[in-house]
Chains A and B, each alone.
Chain A
Amino acid sequence: MSTPEGVDASSAPVTSSDGPGSSSTRHGAATSRRQPPPEPKDSLWLRRAVILSFWLVVVVLGLPVWWKTTAIYRAELPLQTMTDWADGKICKPVFPLRIAVEAPIAQQDAQHLVRTTQHALDDLNDFSAHHLRLMLLDPPLAPNASQQVVPDGSILEENDKENIALLVRLVSVETGTTPRSRLQPYSPTLDVYYTANQLPSPSSTGSPLATFIAHELHKIFAEEQARLAYLLSTTSGARTAKSKSLSAETAAELERQSTRALKYAPTYHLTFSLFSPTYLPSAWEIEEALQDYLSPLLDSFRSISNFTVDTQVQLYSTFSPSMRQPEYDDVLKAWTLRKEDLSGFINAAEWPLSPSIGAGPTVNFALYVPDQAQSPLLVKENGGNSWLVPQWGGIFILNPADAHEDSTPSFLAKDALAPAMHAFSDQLVSLLGLPQSPASLPLRLSTLTRVRAASLLFSASSTLGALARLYRALPSIPVPDMVAQSVDLTAAHLQHACDSLREGRFQGALEHARIAEGEAEKAFFERSMVGQVYFPDEHKVAVYLPLLGPVAVPLIMAGLKELKSMTGSIFPKRSP
């Protein structure tokens, strides 16, 4: 017996064959010959009710469930503002530097000097965004002069004092070549020595002293200008037109410095490690050495970043087997390492130099004390004993000073560590991206502040732009409210940072730019957005079709069939 085709067979539309003994061919013929009896009214309506009940479940419950559970929530983002930030349309960073002039001369003369110097300075400057503005400071020696109201309002308010980039102090001298200048190494002060006759006369429009000061100032800030110009030219094409053109070698030098420096982070972790191939030396006076040689430097960086310091001693640290062993050089009377082997000096597989301690980058400083048999150990090409690994840290080979002794000292005192600490300080300074000039450390630090603020500003802006592009390019990714909040915060802090820059409050600008950068990164790397990135719309077909197709096909076919029969019964065909 052939079997009926479905388990949900409706009862009425059946045909009967001639009997149990009939063959299947005869059965088929019988079907075509004999019309099935008409379907009773009630079973027709019953079938329609059953189909309708399934359709009702699908439409009344299924569609809302589908709509509700697969809707992608996309928070509104201020796309135009974000793009404008990335294109630099909202904020054109300017760096108005206040330079105070302190002159022990009469107010009118001093103002005239300032004015002529400003003219000379403006003539020299070819980078409009970076602007030096001279201001006359109250001469502290003349209390009566400070009572006067200065017409151009260049008397400094108290809160502006910390925003002074440089103090120019005019000192009248009788001897020596004049004018001459001296930059104080640990304070942002430029002493200018002059003789009285070099002061410009009230009628003249220029004077040797004014020109000299202008040239000195321009020289001091030349590297900063170059850095900022380099930054502007690399970050966005839109800005290059306005920025000053850099010579090729300056650009290359800045490029080298910036690849060497670590990315900016609010916190850096410094690790100082002592490595020795033997059991000696087993102790070092690192805490005192750090206290004496490094802490002042770190303190001066405090306004830009924070630091944590770890130390460790690792004995029996051998070179990696793949590295070429040191060779003895008869000329230098020393064991030498070839320059090209220096990159393999750190045995990354065995030396425990952790790549990251908490958030923020780790800066590694390795002090290597060679075995007595291989001492002194130097770099073959230049006889040096320390080098810097870009964006990683520094290495110093400490050859024990008294080489005539038979064994390596078991204890490294603070004084023995001094050369290493000096080398590490230098390396740290370049790793942090501190400029090479001018000679005054506070000036270099404030330069770094400005450069960092500007680079954070650009990076946060371009992250916003990238997020806006992502939002437009991938309409299928969900965007939670958190992202919108972060974007708003970023934009607000960018605006603050930009305003602070314009007003010359560079420390505040750095703070705001730092927050903006953090928020922008948080928005861009929001985890819930990433999941859908690799899930294109075509894949939805692959999800829906095999799972819902088998359900949908019978439902739709049954529904269509019923609709057809219903329209057929309402508009009966004219039979011939």
Chain B
Amino acid sequence: MDRQKVLLFGAAAAVRLLLFTAFPSLPHLLAGRVEVSTPVTSFKRLQEGLFLYTHNVSPYDGGVYHQAPLLLPLFSLLPNPSYYPFATNVLFTVVDLLGAQALMQIADSGQSVKTRLFESSRKELRWSSLAMAAGFLFNPFTIATCIARSTSALTNLFILAAMAKASQGASITFVFAIAIASYLSMHPVLLFPPLLLLCYHVRASKSASAPSLLSFAIGHAGALASTCGGLLYVSALLTGSWEFMRATYGVRLLLPDLTPNVGLWWYFFTEMFDSFREFFLGVFWLHVASYMPGLTIRLRKQPLFVAVTLTGVFAVFTPYPSIADAALYLSLVPLFRHLFPLMRYTFLASATILYASFLGPAFYYLWIYAGSGNANFFYAITLVWSLGLSVIVGDSLYAALRDELDVERPELKGKEVKRI
């Protein structure tokens, strides 16, 4: 088992480093693709910010860099990636391996099939953690993200780490990981309530006397707030002002950069009447946020499933999604292998995802380079992509509810149900 893990991780690292060295222009090419690099995660923009930072100019002055300030000292420690890319490549490879490690921990904890309050009737049906890690490491989307050196790989790592730590009941590391993920990308803060619930369940099942949920929640929320506040304060010290808030979270909230991406926002807001722009920014953000409370309440017995579903919602409905978000979600869904028999549209969803993955770059080429298409071509294919992901989200939700029903009323197992 251990040898297999070493072999898997070694192979994954080798593939990445081989791609980096065998095709030196590949990182540059992928970093310029709109599907992989968004304005808030692009490695090219990070380099621009890094250049300004090392020349003692505020990194946000150019209006190009929209990522968290604390990434700058981290990357300024590494040799300049334009001349010595190896260290950066190794860093991103390690990030992926650590993410796979966290994913294995989540799978090993078994929280996807059996929690304190719920135990799936199909819990024998699951893949090994090694298979999960392989699915993550050899997912082409993950590899592309890694090669493009998009900083969303870091966000993914910290989301995975937060899930892993929550499923182990390690409060401090969980709060720390979710705080860093929120600090980097803002929207992962919505994962906090379901993961908090997950952490609580694990802790309660481990100790003899369950702590009060309210005090547990307040304590962790306080810890999260203070950690985030501390990170923001350090950032302010680093850049010398609070201006970075506008350049980082302000950009995510207000969408000033309408560069195309695989999400739904950019096209909509290029067409939007100016006077309604603010209103619909509010509507879209509330739409993203509104899934969290409802899902957490409804599926409170399976908080890990809520968190995973939310990452799927993020991959579709956030302002700057990329295939990195989809890679995270698609790697997490196999945790719920036991739900697959209950899902009805697996063929449709996987075909749609494949279709969009191949046609997306082609349509983008037709629009931007060949000039024989227009923006609608690319937008249509991003709609298909989002549709595919939404079908998976919706279908897995149905399957989870059906699974709960089977536990509740075992006599209905295998029979068709109808909602009244």
Contacts and interface: CB of A to CB of B under 8 A. Distances in A.
B401 A9 contact: yes
Contacts, number: 109
A551 B283 CA distance: 11
B214 interface: no
Contact of B286 (A12, A65, A543): A65
Given A9-B398, A9-B401, A36 B298 contact: no
Given A11-B401, A62-B282, A50 B419 contact: no
Interface stretch (A52-60, A246-254, A295-303, A497-505): A52-60
Nearest to B402: A9
Contacts of B124: none
A4 B401 CA distance: 12
A69 B273 CA distance: 13
B404 interface: yes
Contact of A57 (B273, B286, B402, B408): B286
Given A7-B394, A13-B419, A31-B418, A65 B283 contact: yes
B98 interface: no
Contacts of B282: 62, 65-66, 69
B274 A531 contact: yes
A36 B294 contact: no
B420 A15 contact: yes
Interface string B264-297: 0000000001111011111100110110011001
A2 interface: yes
Nearest to A51: B294
A65 B283 CA distance: 8
B344 A3 contact: yes
A46 interface: yes
User: Which of B274, B293, B414 has its CB near the most chain A CB atoms (within 10 A)?
Assistant: B293
B395 interface: yes
Contacts of B2: none
Interface string B298-310: 1000000000000
A61 interface: yes
A207 B50 CA distance: 96
A14 B419 contact: yes
A547 B405 CA distance: 34
A55 to B, nearest CB: 10
B408 A36 contact: no
Give the secondary structure class of A's interface: loop
Contacts of B286: 57-58, 61-62, 65
A151 interface: no
A49 interface: yes
Contact of B279 (A6, A10, A66): A66
B419 A9 contact: yes
B95 interface: no
Contacts of A9: 398, 401-402, 417, 419
B70 interface: no
Contacts of B283: 62, 65, 547-548
A19 B415 CA distance: 7
Given A53-B297, A531-B275, A15 B418 contact: yes
A31 B344 CA distance: 23
Contacts of B275: 70, 478, 531-532, 535
A14 B420 contact: yes
Contacts of A547: 280, 283
Give the secondary structure class of B's interface: helix
A480 B344 CA distance: 55
B250 to A, nearest CB: 16
Interface in A26-65: 31, 36, 46, 49-50, 53-54, 56-58, 61-62, 65
A16 B412 contact: yes
Nearest to B397: A7
B178 to A, nearest CB: 21
Contacts of A31: 418
Given A7-B398, A9-B398, A61-B286, A49 B416 contact: no
Contacts of A70: 275-276, 278-279
B294 A14 contact: no
Interface residues of A, number: 44
Interface residues of B, number: 38
B412 A14 contact: yes
User: Which of A14, A17, A36, A68 has its CB near the most chain B CB atoms (within 10 A)?
Assistant: A14
A349 interface: no
Nearest to A15: B418
A340 interface: no
B419 A10 contact: yes
A50 B286 CA distance: 16
Contact of A14 (B276, B280, B398, B405): B405
Contacts of A53: 293-294, 297
Contacts of A15: 417-418, 420
A50 B290 CA distance: 11
Contact of A4 (B289, B298, B404, B418): B418
A13 B414 CA distance: 17
B290 to A, nearest CB: 4
A381 to B, nearest CB: 57
Contacts of B412: 14, 16
Contact of B420 (A2, A36, A65, A543): A36
A20 interface: yes
A56 B411 CA distance: 36
B293 A11 contact: no
A1 interface: yes
User: Which of B273, B279, B289 has its CB near the most chain A CB atoms (within 10 A)?
Assistant: B279
A70 B280 CA distance: 10
A5 B418 contact: yes
B401 A8 contact: yes
A13 B297 contact: no
Nearest to A14: B417
B401 A69 contact: no
B273 A50 contact: no
A245 B297 CA distance: 85
Contacts of A12: 408
B158 to A, nearest CB: 26
A50 B273 CA distance: 33
User: Which of A6, A15, A46 has its CB near the most chain B CB atoms (within 10 A)?
Assistant: A15
Given A19-B415, A70-B275, 11 more contacts: A2-B416, A9-B419, A16-B412, A31-B418, A46-B297, A57-B293, A62-B282, A69-B278, A69-B279, A532-B275, A548-B283
Please list the 3 inter-chain residue pairs (A to B) with the smallest Cβ-Cβ separation, ordered nearest first. Answer: A65-B282, A69-B278, A53-B293
7 contacts: A4-B417, A11-B404, A14-B419, A20-B414, A54-B293, A61-B286, A543-B273
Interface of B: 273-276, 278-283, 286-287, 289-290, 293-294, 297-298, 344, 394-395, 397-398, 401-402, 404-405, 408-409, 411-412, 414-420
